[in-house]
Chain A
Amino acid sequence: MNSLNQVVSLLELSPPPFIFINDPIAPKFTIQSLLIALQNKIRLVQIDGISCFTPRLLYDTILNGLSQHTPSWDDGCKNWSEETSNDSMDSFLRALKALHASLCAANSEQRERLALVIEKPERLKERMPDLLAPLTRLAELTRIDLSVVLVSEVRWEDIRPPLGAAIDPYYVDIPVPTKEIIIEHLVKVVEKNSSNSDLASTSTMPHPYDPALQQTYKHFVHILTDVCFLYTNDPHEIQYISAARWPGFIKPVLDAHRMNVEAAEGEDEVEFERPSAEVLLRLTRHFKPSLSLALEQLYPRLTNAVDWARANVSDAASLAKDGLILGDAVMDDEEEEEDTVNEMLLSSPTRSRSSRRIQEQKAAQDLSSSNLKDTLPLSASLPRLSQFILVAAYIASVNPVKSDLRLFGRGADEKKRRRRPAKRQMANAKPKSGSVKIPQRFLGPSPFPLERLIAILGALVEENDSNASEVNDSRNNPSDLLDFRIAGERTDYEVTRVGVYASIAQLTSLRLLVRTTSADKLDGLSAMFKCGSGAPSSYETILDLAKGLGVPLPDLIWDNAAMG
């Protein structure tokens, strides 16, 4: 936090007109800390490059923010400034000066210092490149005591307006947050929450953020940070996971206390004490597997904290297993339960603790993934032909055009149908001069024309779709009335049906295929498609689909070695 403290002192004492803070990890966290540190010290406004997507919004937000003016609905959302202040930089500067003057007039004893904290300035550069240079020179242009602070994940070199238009900033680099910083932040959060009046007033029972639990919380945070630090060092992320896990973690202790209170029947106040070291150890042992599970599911937001916490409340049995049904007044049935659990444990003394933990973790996983159960594999949720289309699209996306005839061509010279032998990557092969060929899997799916997709689809259906041939046999199919003499003609007929085009359109609207040419262009090049990102361009998913359809996908991939 040294560098941030530096900024705070600078802004308080004698700020440079332009400060650039580069924080590649957690700019949001940095800004929050900065705002908290500067609260009530100088007049500042925090804006961000996304919300202020037009100059007018930018001017309005800055002026209203600095003047602490809240537009009210009743007077038609008037801005602070009486003059028109948002149509150009000039009027904005004028208004800014007027604002400063009025602020100085309001309290004459001290000079008003203004500061502008801008988050995501890189977006301002995208949208309003002309404004960035004047913003950095705002102090110079207005001649008031004002400092502009940009906080960004990218470096100034990447945002800087060309030709040296902007002045050089005072550079501040925020280091990667260390464990200590994160723990300090998390503890601060819980301190803030423990004094939350809402919680204290709702019930006389202690809540998870009770001040008495602070030491326990510190312990918990240490463990959590140890687990998560390898994967993320954004304090907000770890705070998110902690918020999801902590109430469940401390729940056995709270429950025990509640039971004690009930047992005492209000006769004498039962003091709420922080759990003993032994209980803490048991808690830790019980909940540690769920911490990494929480990280796995919450960090990529496969679920949200509230739902995760709800789904991962430990049930009594598993708690009892770890001796976590606490409290003196244990219910009879629970005692029994514990007994049976103990018996069970005794009866299998050979079972090691670790295997049990793995099982627990698995059980926890099952539990928490219950809301993911409804995930259907593509094979179940798509009609057969759509599956064929996806496989064909994948083949068209990864194979070079020239390979099509070799892979799918049939007829006179059957011999041709061979993949290029995997002669690549010989141990002492001399690196070729010139441009290095990047394997297709690193390039992502390449676009292909619709005709190619249909042609490959035809080849796949012709050779692999036993269903279609059966269907063709059925007397129900009126296309039997047509006469197909040439091999493959029927398949050609089948794959140019309206249903096929409709399926392609449907897949496109699901973004499983992506149309790369604009839809309103009829003339010229035919429509181009490529596999959508995610599932439809992942080899594993398509391999699954292909297996279900009986398509030998590995044989149909040209550069198979690259798929490894």
Chain B
Amino acid sequence: MVDLNEADETVLYIPFKGDQQQDAKPLEPLAPPNLPFDLPNGPELRWDAYKAAWSKCSNQIQTLLHQLYEPVVAEVVEKIELAYSGDYDNDIPLLALPYAEIPTIAVANPTSDAYFLSSIVSQLHLITHLYPSDCVNLTTAMKAIVNGFLFASHPASTFRSSAKTLATYDISVLLAWYLAQEPETKPRRLILLLHDFEQFDPGVVQDMFYICSQHVPALPLILLISLSSPQSPLSPHSYLHVTYPLATLKLLRIQSMVVPSGPRILEEVVIKTFVNLPSDVDLNDKLDIVLGPAVLEYLTEYATQFNHSVPALLNILQLAHLKHFLTNPLTALVSLVHHVPLTTSDVSALNTTLRNPASAAFRNILTHRLDFCRSDSDDTNSDSSLPALIPALHAAHIQFRSRSHAIRLAFSLLQGFHEFLVERGYKGLGTHWGSGNSTTTPVHTTISASSFRYPQYSRLQNYINLLQLHTHTQTHPRSNQAAKDITYTRTLLRKLKPEELRAYLDVLIAYLEGMPNGLADNLGIDGEDQGDKNDGNDGPKSLSLTEAIQMLEGWRVEADEAYGTYEAVEMELDMNGDGAEKFKMMNEDLAEWMYNYLRTLTQPIGNTPLWDVWYTGSEVFPSETLNPSIRASIVAGLLRPEDFAAPTEPAIAGSPFHVRSQEEHKTDRTSDSESEDGFPIHTLPDISILFHRYLESGKMINVYDWFESFHAVLNVQRREAKAKIPSGGEKSGRKRKGKAAVKNVSMEKKGKGKEKESPNEKGKGNERAKNMNSDLNEDEDMDAQDNPDSDSEEHQQILIQARFIRALHELDFLGFIKHTRRRPDHVLRTVFEVGD
């Protein structure tokens, strides 16, 4: 399992373990590993919590998306249903068309979300699905169409062709079938759904469309084309217009639909899921964990740079969830402590879990954490025995919830104020809060706000700024933006004109009153805890919404009264009346209140006890797991496999880079055949040995030389292995010899073909292999003097050769080798180190 804490771990080394894996059963899904301080059943608890949390999150996003799709789906279905009845509708009869066109609905569906098409399909009947693989040529395509409709109408109805009947791929079969249908049950339309339209062979599709068009409208065919290009299917640069000739386009009556997608949709989904306040009255938050700024920031970065599709979003979120639950033992609490007031069964479950002696460590860390947080707010509650612990946990959870809601409330207050100003034609809080008609302006204009890193996701960025308001002010200067925004809000509030002030009060009160009751109460609870420790701010002591509303109501009444006099005063063109003065005061009051309220609301989430149970905070997102740099990772893996092998991995025969004795290590250090990181080259896996030699060679590699050097290294390896089996003084001598061999055969940098290797003579591969064999035999002769057991020696040689070929092929598969026709005994390097 990938260690999500290791941010730069990108290569996994799966050692070769013989063929025992081939008949092994597929592994059971592993429970996550135990962590320090874990509960006895912690891994299972956390795994279950992860599954629950993730499915909630994923469901929420899917539901939102489907809501976005719904109108488009409805429109497509309507267009299909009207395709053959629409010609005579209302007052535009178009009778004089030169020929019948095939009604075609081209849907640009850039996300290729299967849900979209399936929800269309579910509302229609008699659909034949055509996939690019069905249409390799015209015969198969037509066959697929004919059989598709026959099968779709009745699974049992097939057409058997003989020499005296029509061919199965003849569209006349379909026509005959259609004519034979009973008038009452006759399908009114036959829908041909072409998936992944870009992948079809245009030549085949052209002919297919032509044939179909010859039988329209006798055969009420409708084409439904699913394109994945983001462009509208009817723009002159669209795939349809670029790829297909006019002659084909003329056969179709194309109507286009665009499925919502792209940055705007992505941002909307994210904001609605994670930022907007829940609308439920019971405040039973739909999501279990709250995403921190780090994850959201990576999300925006990835969406801007690489992919703004929803599947990519889901991937990132799932990984964030996974990491959260796999790396923090406390997250087991997510499944133990619920939002709703604890029921007795919950309490007892929690009780038994915590009472378990094995969970002492967990309990300790919990009490420690709670004490720590409590000590600076409330000293009376320091009793940390178990009965007190459970309510404390619950309280911590509620406190966390309300804190996270508070920040979101701050966001929506700012957003609301900005929108209020924009509506009145002002600039509002700045372009990064979105310009007035943000939905229609092209992105180029918003890029002018180039000080923002992700112009397409400015709203999300604003939220991230709020989350980071009190953290990283030094390291992350840009996060000051949120503080600036809040201050600027105060400035703007002071400058509101009287009628605007009244209007804003109306809007604000209406908004706050629209908040669900539960939220208001929750914020109140939080206020009791947090209100006191507003450092230095002499702001509102309570965050309670009800109080805020009461206060605002009072102001509104005041404002209404004052406005009456103000108006009267203004009529008389006397600006010095005390109405204006009064409004100035009220502006000041409101601005100060808002400023302090926002400051209080945006207290960092990290201040609550046990925040890290439900909040991913600034934990770095494991981006290298999702989006590694392939070449760098593979090269690193090949050069230093020991860094990537699990330390607990048992020693592997043949490539023993297990932990060796210190002494051994020291002696090896003197060797020059050692890789830079201290492991002698002969301790590496075969492929790494080859790769080290590969990097030492020139642009072309002579395969025979390569083999020779490999052979030499393996000889050393063998001797080492033999020396392990104690055999006295023989060891040192052999070793030295082996080293020498390594030194000699290690390839030269400019190694072109060696003297006896003339490719012109040997030519083909098998000859080369023969040649290699004979060379091996020579080698073997030499070795045979050392070792009388020549039979096993021969076996050994074959083994070495096999290992070489295997490693060579592995490199070949990884793309490190390019073959040339000209010199079959040489291969070309494809990868060069920067230094080369």
Contact = CB atoms under 8 A, between A and B. Distances in A.
A477 B623 contact: yes
A379 B627 CA distance: 23
B159 A248 contact: no
A523 B234 contact: no
A50 B210 contact: yes
A305 B442 contact: no
Nearest to A381: B230
A494 B629 contact: yes
B766 interface: no
Interface in A292-309: 300-307, 309
A76 B93 contact: no
A482 B94 contact: no
A375 interface: yes
B228 interface: yes
17 contacts: A51-B171, A57-B170, A64-B172, A78-B165, A81-B164, A199-B93, A239-B97, A302-B236, A304-B101, A381-B231, A383-B308, A385-B306, A467-B453, A478-B620, A501-B630, A509-B198, A511-B198
Interface in B601-642: 620-624, 626-632
B207 interface: yes
Given A51-B211, A384-B305, A476-B620, A310 B92 contact: yes
A476 B164 contact: no
A522 B817 CA distance: 11
Given A84-B163, A380-B442, A383-B305, A510 B198 contact: yes
Interface in A425-481: 467-468, 470-471, 474-479, 481
B139 A53 contact: yes
A48 B214 CA distance: 10
A478 B234 contact: no
B624 A79 contact: no
B234 A77 contact: no
Contact of A506 (B159, B238, B307): B307
B142 to A, nearest CB: 8
B256 A371 contact: yes
A66 B243 CA distance: 37
B228 A509 contact: yes
Contacts of B631: 496
A542 to B, nearest CB: 12
B505 interface: no
A344 interface: no
B242 interface: yes
A87 B164 CA distance: 10
A486 B196 CA distance: 43
Interface in B32-58: none
B228 A510 contact: yes
B268 to A, nearest CB: 15
A71 B306 contact: no
Given A306-B86, A475-B475, A533-B243, A371 B627 contact: no
A243 B236 CA distance: 22
Interface in B686-715: none
A509 B230 CA distance: 12
B99 interface: yes
Contacts of B262: 376, 380-381
Interface of B: 7-8, 86-88, 91-99, 101, 110, 138-139, 159-167, 169-173, 176-177, 179-180, 196, 198-199, 207, 210-211, 214, 228-232, 234-239, 241-243, 246, 249-250, 252-256, 258, 262-263, 294, 297-298, 301-308, 442-444, 447, 453, 475-476, 620-624, 626-632, 812-813, 815, 818-819, 830, 834
A122 to B, nearest CB: 13
B95 A478 contact: no
A379 B253 CA distance: 29
Given A76-B165, A482-B8, A190 B834 contact: no
A313 interface: yes
Most buried by A among B98, B210, B812: B98
Nearest to A488: B834
Contact of A374 (B159, B232, B475): B232
A241 B213 CA distance: 19
A489 B834 CA distance: 8
A377 interface: yes
A492 B834 contact: yes
B256 A306 contact: no
A315 interface: no
Contacts of B198: 509-511
Contact of A303 (B86, B230, B234): B234
A496 B630 contact: yes
Given A50-B211, A73-B180, A371-B234, A243 B629 contact: no
Interface in A525-543: 526, 532-535, 538, 541
Interface of A: 28-29, 48, 50-51, 53-54, 56-57, 60-61, 64, 70-74, 76-79, 81-84, 86-87, 189-190, 193, 196, 198-199, 202, 207-209, 235-236, 239-240, 242-244, 246-248, 251, 300-307, 309-310, 313, 371-372, 374-386, 467-468, 470-471, 474-479, 481-482, 486, 489, 492-494, 496-503, 506, 509-512, 522-524, 526, 532-535, 538, 541, 548
A375 B262 CA distance: 13
A499 B255 contact: no
A551 B255 CA distance: 36
B443 A57 contact: no
Given A60-B167, A376-B230, A526-B830, 7 more contacts: A71-B173, A76-B159, A243-B97, A247-B92, A306-B92, A482-B632, A499-B305
Contact of B453 (A251, A470, A538): A470
B139 A313 contact: no
A193 B95 contact: yes
A548 B447 contact: yes
Contacts of B628: 497-498
A374 B260 CA distance: 10
B118 to A, nearest CB: 20
A524 to B, nearest CB: 7
B98 A196 contact: no
Given A239-B98, A497-B629, A471 B207 contact: no
A77 B252 CA distance: 29
B164 A78 contact: yes
Given A54-B167, A499-B305, A522-B813, A476 B621 contact: yes
Contacts of A86: 163, 167
A304 B93 contact: no
B231 A376 contact: yes
Contacts of B179: 70, 72-73
A511 B170 CA distance: 31
A247 B93 CA distance: 7
A382 B7 CA distance: 28
Contact of B95 (A243, A302, A377): A243
Contacts of B86: 306
Nearest to B110: A381
B152 to A, nearest CB: 16
Given A84-B163, A374-B258, A476-B620, A305 B94 contact: yes
B232 A305 contact: no
B619 to A, nearest CB: 10
Contacts of B263: 380
Contact of A304 (B176, B214, B254): B254
Contacts of B110: 381
A236 B96 contact: no
A474 B437 CA distance: 31
Nearest to A246: B96
Given A77-B165, A482-B8, A498-B627, A244 B94 contact: yes
Nearest to A385: B305
B307 A502 contact: yes
A196 B88 CA distance: 13
A304 B253 contact: yes
A486 B234 contact: no
Contacts of A303: 234, 254
A377 B228 contact: no
A78 B40 CA distance: 75
Given A78-B165, A534-B242, A51 B180 contact: no
